[in-house]
């Protein structure tokens, strides 16, 4: 068989107690023009294990029948001692079941001595070495993929930047087995402002601690300075400490190590650096570098999103602070408006007391009652934590109580039936609606129950899903005159109701009156009202 010219000799350990078989196997492997095997022989398992302790054996040829061990137990002891060294079982037992069990346990091949020749033995030895390399490479990449998944999981669940960076370092060390991992984050000034790290037991030299100390102290190792400056224009840089570190302060702790430095870039911005330290024997290959680039991109993307979230939170906090300030200002405005209205109400009351004519007194009193209704609204706004919406249910209950006190109906027992949904109205809608309710209730108390010993008032306010608000104010009093027409009425109160509800809120008014009482039914659309009010406020 033509053997590959690798330029190096492969160290083989043959554990075989039969000297004749050992000599024959040695001759088989040395046959040919290019003998590439250096063989050590052990006639006992114990001796073979001593050879393995030197950790320079590249492949093992193992007989299963030895003086001090036999069967699969022999394989198990050798495999436990050197799990990374490929083992070819070479025995005189032609046992298929044993062969299958051996391969399942981790053997690379099972050869029967009587059936091998120089070519088949040489081929099996090379194949065993290459298969073991492939297995190690697959396991190596699988562990790196597990590390990548761990990092991706952190991206999904971690929102704190420092915890995220530390978690990434821990994941790469614990899941993949790197000697040490360091993550440096760049501040707004383009300098490394914070760092996280993790290291394994192989970092006894203190590489990580010294590395971070120098990086944060602006005394960057050359590899970090080059990566920050991006002198070679590459995303990933592999640094061989033996040949490129020169007089770096960290060269003493980098002996026998290789560093991989990767820029964390996203959307044209450099967020930091990912630095991985590993032994020269575990030098990163092309596939690993590609995966590490992907990890670096994911980390940078996560840092980018965290920065966006932080900016959003700061803006939300600023907006909330501004809203809180405006709410305090609104409350103060409503408080002052209430106080000013109370002053006006008091002035109207004093003026009514000194007025001589009954018509003047009634006009001043009615105006004061309208002012008092607006005071109720501003009082509620001042008392609420959100000074923008009014609870009409609470307003109607307070208004009724106030009207019963200011309009005592002698010799008449009046029962009220209030069915008002607790629907929040904006103040721009609540004031005209509140004034309209005040006028209608005042009209009922003044005129509906003349000559009656009892009476009933009904107030219903509903906000169905169709967007139309429905207000009903009813009584079981004497009713309105037969020729009553709200469009031609001369009373100020009802003209005010028409002005507020029809012209300001674009609502519809229906009046139903007979001997059994009167009902004012008013409907308007809330959404259109918002638009009308906003348009009115903008134009004014």
pLDDT tier, 382 (very low <50, low <70, confident <90, very high otherwise): low
Verify that 274 and 223 share a domain, yes or no.
yes
Q: What is the pLDDT of residue 207?
A: 55
Both 136 and 19 in one domain: the answer is: yes
Residues contacting residue 284 through CB under 8 Å, at least 6 positions apart: 238, 258, 260, 276, 278, 292
Residue 431 is classified by DSSP as H
Other beta carbons within 10 Å of 18: 15
Check residue 128 and give its pLDDT.
92
What does the pLDDT read at residue 402? 81
Q: Please indicate, yes or no, if residue 299 is contained in any of the structural domains.
A: no
* Contact call for residues 450 and 414 (beta carbons, < 8 A): no
> What tens digit of pLDDT does each residue of 293-350 get?
888 999 999 999 999 999 999 999 999 888 777 777 766 766 677 777 778 878 888 8
Q: Per residue in 232-261, pLDDT tens?
A: 667 777 666 555 565 565 555 566 677 788
| CATH code of the domain containing 93 | 3.40.50.2300
Residue 507, phi then psi, degrees to nearest 5: -95, 175
Whether the CA torsion 209, 214, 216, 222 is positive or negative: it is negative
Write b or e for each residue in 123-144: b if 16 or more Cβ atoms lie within 10 A of its Cβ, otherwise e.
Answer: ebbbebbeebeeeeeeebeeeb
| Cβ contact 125:29 at 8 Å | yes
- Mean pLDDT score, 138-145: 84
Nearest C-alpha neighbor of 368 from the set 335, 395, 401, 346: 346
Chain centroid, CA 465 distance in Å = 35
Residue 473 pLDDT greater than 90, yes or no: yes
Which residues, other chains included, contact 6 with Cβ-Cβ below 8 Å and sequence gap of 6+?
Answer: 36
Backbone phi, psi, residue 2, to 5°: -80, 120
Number of H helices, E strands in the chain: 15, 19
Bridge-based pairing state of the strands 454-462 and 468-475: antiparallel
Distance of CA 422 to the CA centre of its chain: 36
In a domain, 484, yes or no: yes
For position 263, which CATH number holds? 3.30.450.40
Residue 397 and residue 357 share a domain:
no
Average pLDDT over residues 440-466: 86
- pLDDT at res. 412: 81
Q: In what order do the strands lie in the sheet with 10-15?
A: 37-42, 10-15, 59-62, 87-91, 109-112
The rounded distance, in Å, linking the Cα atoms of 117 and 216 is 63
Query: What mean pLDDT comes out for the span 462-469?
Result: 79
Q: Decide: 195 and 182 in contact? Cβ < 8 Å.
A: yes
The answer to whether residues 464 and 328 belong to one domain is no
pTM above 0.85, yes or no: no
User: Do the Cβ atoms of 479 and 515 come closer than 8 Å?
Assistant: yes
pLDDT score recorded for residue 522: 92
**Same domain membership, residue 178 and residue 134:** no
For residues 407 and 539, state if they share a domain: yes
Please report whether residue 351 resides in a domain.
yes
| H/E element, 169 | helix 161-171
Q: Is residue 172 a contact partner of residue 198, using CB atoms and an 8 Å limit?
A: yes
Question: Tell me: the pLDDT tens digits for 67-103?
Answer: 999 999 999 999 999 999 999 999 988 899 999 999 9
In a domain, 14, yes or no: yes
Domain that holds residue 536: 389-540
Residue 298 confidence (pLDDT): 92
pLDDT in tens, 34-58: 558 889 999 999 999 999 988 889 9
**Rounded CA separation 8/36 (Å):** 7
In a shared domain, residues 503 and 403? yes
Residue 189 has pLDDT above 90, yes or no: no
Boundary of a domain, candidates 224, 249, 284: 284
**Spatial CA neighbour of 522 closest among 476, 466, 460:** 460
The Cβ of residue 257 has, within 10 Å, a number of other Cβ atoms equal to: 23
Q: Cα dist. 314→36, 308, 318, 349, 401 in Å?
A: 68, 10, 6, 52, 47
């Amino acid at each position: 068989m033509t053997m590959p010219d690798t330029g190096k000799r492969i160290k083989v350990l043959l554990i075989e107690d039969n000297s004749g078989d050992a000599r024959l196997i040695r001759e088989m492997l040395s046959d040919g023009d290019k003998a590439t095997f250096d063989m050590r022989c052990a006639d006992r398992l114990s001796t073979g294990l001593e050879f393995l302790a030197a950790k320079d054996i590249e492949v093992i040829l193992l007989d299963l029948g030895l003086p001090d061990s036999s069967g699969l137990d022999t394989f198990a002891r050798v495999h436990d001692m050197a799990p990374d060294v490929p083992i070819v079982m070479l025995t005189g037992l032609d046992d298929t079941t044993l062969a299958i069990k051996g391969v399942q346990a981790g053997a690379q091949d099972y050869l029967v001595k009587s059936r091998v020749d120089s070519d088949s033995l040489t081929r099996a030895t090379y194949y065993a070495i290459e298969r073991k390399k492939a297995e190690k490479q697959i396991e190596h990449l699988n562990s790196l993929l597990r590390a990548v998944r761990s990092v991706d999981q952190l991206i999904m669940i971690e929102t704190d930047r420092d915890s995220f960076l530390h978690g990434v370092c821990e994941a790469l060390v614990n899941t993949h087995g790197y000697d040490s991992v360091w993550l440096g984050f760049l501040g707004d000034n383009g300098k490394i402002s914070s760092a996280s790290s993790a290291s394994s037991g192989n970092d006894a030299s203190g590489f990580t601690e010294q590395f971070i100390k120098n990086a944060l102290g602006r005394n960057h190792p050359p590899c970090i300075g080059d990566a920050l400056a991006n002198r070679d224009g590459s995303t990933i840089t592999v640094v061989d400490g033996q040949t490129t570190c020169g007089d770096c302060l960290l060269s003493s702790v980098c002996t026998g190590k290789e560093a991989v430095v990767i820029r964390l870039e996203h959307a044209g911005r450099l967020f930091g650096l990912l630095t991985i330290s590993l032994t020269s024997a575990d030098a990163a290959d092309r596939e690993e570098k590609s995966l590490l680039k992907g990890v670096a991109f994911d980390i940078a993307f996560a840092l980018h999103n965290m920065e966006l979230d932080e900016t959003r939170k700061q803006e939300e906090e600023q907006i909330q602070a501004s809203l809180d300030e405006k709410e305090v200002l609104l409350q103060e405005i409503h408080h002052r408006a209430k106080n000013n209205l109370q002053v006006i109400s008091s002035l109207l009351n004093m003026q009514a007391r000194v007025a001589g004519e009954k018509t003047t007194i009634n006009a001043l009193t009615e105006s004061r009652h309208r002012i008092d209704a607006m005071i109720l609204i501003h009082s509620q706004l001042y008392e609420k934590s959100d000074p923008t919406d009014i609870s009409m249910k609470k307003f109607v209950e307070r208004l009724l109580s106030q009207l019963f006190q200011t309009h005592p109906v002698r010799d008449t027992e009046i029962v009220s039936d209030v069915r008002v949904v607790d629907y929040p109205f904006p103040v721009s809608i609540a004031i005209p609606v509140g004034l309209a309710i005040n006028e209608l209730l005042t009209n009922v108390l003044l005129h509906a129950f003349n000559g009656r010993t009892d009476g009933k008032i009904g107030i219903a306010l509903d906000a169905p899903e169709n967007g139309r608000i429905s207000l009903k104010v009813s009584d079981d009093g004497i009713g309105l005159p037969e020729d009553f027409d709200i469009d031609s009425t001369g009373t100020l109160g009802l003209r005010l109701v028409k002005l507020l509800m029809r012209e300001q809120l674009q609502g519809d008014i229906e009046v139903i009156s007979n001997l059994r009482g009167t009902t004012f039914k008013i409907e308007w659309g809330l959404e259109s009202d918002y638009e009308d009010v906003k348009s009115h406020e903008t134009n004014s």
